[in-house]
Every structure is written in C-alpha cells, then in structure tokens.
Amino acid sequence: MPMASIVNRKSEACDGSPPPYALRVRSVDVPLGDRSYRIQIAPGLLERLGKECSRLKHGRRCAVISDRNVTPLYAKAAHESLSRAGFEPALITVPAGETAKSLDTVRRCYDALATHRLERRSFIVALGGGVVGDLAGFVAATYLRGIAFVQAPTTLLAQVDSSVGGKVGVNLKAGKNLVGAFHQPRLVLCDLDTLRTLPEREFRAGLAEVIKYGIIYDASFFRKLERSLDRILDRDPRVLADVVARCCEIKADVVGKDEKESGLRAILNFGHTVGHALEAISRYGKYLHGEAISIGQVIAAELSSRVLGLPAGEAARIRELFARAGLPTSLRLNARNRGRLVAAMHLDKKVSAGEIKFVLARRIGEVEFGCRVSPEILDRALDSSAPAASVESPEPRRQHSTPNRRSVPAD
C-alpha cells in the first residue's frame, strides 16, 4: 500500500484574494481503492465547502449535523457555501458533549432526515468536533442503508484523528463506541481558522492525540513536538498546519494498510483502553477525551516499561510532554473506582476471550499491539499513576467559544 501523499497548493479566500496569512492547502490522500478520499488542510476551507462537495457528484439535498456550540459560529458559513453551490442544505443541531453520542440522538437525526426527504444520493456534512463526526458518520452509515458524508472538523482532536479513517459510532452506558460501523467520508476539510475559537482546555485536549502519533509512529515528530510546543500552544498557523498535516499523513498511512483494524490499525489505540474506561466510569462528563487518553497514555508508558522494557528516560519524556501541554498525567482512584475502571476496561473492543489487550511502546516511535498485561502489573501501573488528578474537570466544558478574533456567527 503506498504511503499517503501530501500535495500543496495556494489557499485563497472565496473572492480570490489571499487569506490573512498565506498558507498552502495541504492535501493528504487516504489510499483505499474505490473508497479513497482526500483530506484538505488550510485556513478558510469552510468557504469552499460547497464547491468541494460539488466535485463529489451527489444529489442536491443534504444535511449539516452540528452541535449547539458550533452552530452559532460556523453553521451560517457552511449553509451559505452549500447553497451557493446549488445544494439544498438542512441544519440539524444536536446537544454538545459526549453524552450526545447516543442511540436516542441518532433516532432524532433519522427523523429529521426523513422530514427533509434525504435520498440515497443525498449526503451529510459533519460540522463540529469528534462527537459530531462520530455521530453524523454513524447516522450516514445507517440511514437508507448508507449515504455519503463529508467531515468538516472544527477541533484539533477531530482534525488530527477522529475525522479520518471511517470509524463512526455512538456510546452505550456500558462503554464508549460499542455501537458503530466503518464508513469512510468522501472528503475531509480541516479549516484551521476554526481552531481560533477553541477554548484553551479543548485545544490542549486535542494535543493528546497529536502526541500519540509521535509515540506510536514517528520519533522525529515527537522530538519536533518537544521543540515546538510553545509555538503550538500559541496556535502559530504555520506550525499548526504542519502538525495537522503530519498527523493526518500518519493516520492515512495506517488506515490505508489496515482499514478495519484487523492488525496494524490497533496501534492508534495507544492509551485508549484506560482512557475510554475512565470516560465511561465518569459518565462522559468529567474528562474531555484528550484528557482521559493523556492519563491513559502515561499509564500505557508505565506498562510499556514493565512489559516491553521502554527505557525509563523515554517514559519520562512522554509524561513530561503531556504535562507541558497542560494535560493531566496522574489519577487518584479509591478501591471502588479502581474496580469500576478495570471492569470498564474489560468492555473494551480489543478484549479477546475476556482478556484485555494493550498497545505498548518498545521505544518512542515503535509500538506493539495485542500485548498481554497481568493483573498484578496493571495494579502496579495504576498505583504509579497516583496522586494528583481527581475525576473532577477543572472547568465547565465547552467545545467552542467566541474570542476576540474572527468567527462566523449564524443569524
């Protein structure tokens, strides 16, 4: 399978004038045969949403699924762009936050799609973060036995990870993403301007997935993150463009080799076994996804040291980078909550014959999947993760806010 490629071209505003800072559109191809698609990365891409969707040759009717935080900021721009291109878009707004990823929300989306008479040739645009992308993608995968969808991710986490690869789904009370499908998008548009409106906590949470790519696949990228973290936290657009593109390139390469997680793709779950369980026992409200998997990756690094011999210095570098990014790296659990955490881990999708399988690192940039970890080693790793973090979130969660910078409000 060929390596995912990056093609550059100039980014322009919708009237042909240069954007406020001239960046090239980076295009990353996801190589999946007749399901191949392109990821585009640049500022101002929401203005081109309709034009890019026109190239896909779908029907005129479409729906934009967004949430209550993103809709006031970006729904108008998306709707107008689609309308200019001759589409008839309907807007479906769902609650914000992980709890929206439910079968009840899916049912409400189905009803709205039926009301707007979407057809087999219609398509859905997922406008928002990872929750909206997972939810809208699952709705698209199952409505009329599957219609097309386009990802327009507006958070860092969604741009570098969840919008790419076609894993869509919703949660059950028992665990995260236990109901889902593989349904590839037809296009992914990563508008870097949308990252300007992310609250600081949400932006930092997205860095957990960024750091993951260095750990699992690219040691030089990990070193670059160590050197460039301050510029990333300042949201330097040129550095962000490079970071988002590299993450997408890595994920595209992994997905191109293993679309449905029969092997290699499992490495993308580094730290997620603990992280997803932590989200589940805290009822998807106390941790952002990136915060939970930050803790999960630090624990996975500790397990890696005990099981695969990850050098102590490299485990320390992993912990330090998450800490510098302002992410939690430790966990305090009483005996009851530790039992709940381990029980939730046994509901992980990677469990085989009742045994939890982990993705662990031999060194930064090289990981193995399907690793067995004894209960005793897991207990010691959990012990090493204490103290410092409770299951309380540091501030109320909001996916987007309106700063003193340009945004696109909806009327």
Which residues are marked as active site?
Answer: 145, 167, 209, 251, 261, 265, 269, 272, 276, 289
Which residues lie closer than 8 Å to 174 by C-beta, 6 or more apart?
280, 347
What is the SS3 assignment for 334?
coil
Q: How far apart are CA 170 and CA 187, in angstroms?
A: 21
Q: How far apart are CA 123 and CA 108, in angstroms?
A: 17
Two structure tokens written together for 77: 């721009």
Q: How far apart are CA 69 and CA 172, in angstroms?
A: 23
Which residues lie closer than 8 Å to 116 by C-beta, 6 or more apart?
61, 63, 90
What is the SS3 assignment for 284?
coil
Which residues lie closer than 8 Å to 310 by C-beta, 6 or more apart?
301, 304, 360, 361, 362, 363
Between the two ends of the chain, the Cα-to-Cα distance in Å is 46
Q: Which residues of 60-80 are buried (b: 16+ CB within 10 A; e: fewer)?
A: ebbbbbbbbbbbbbbbbbbbb
For the chain, how are helix, strand and coil distributed in percent, rounded to 5?
45, 20, 35
Q: How far apart are CA 347 and CA 62, in angstroms?
A: 36
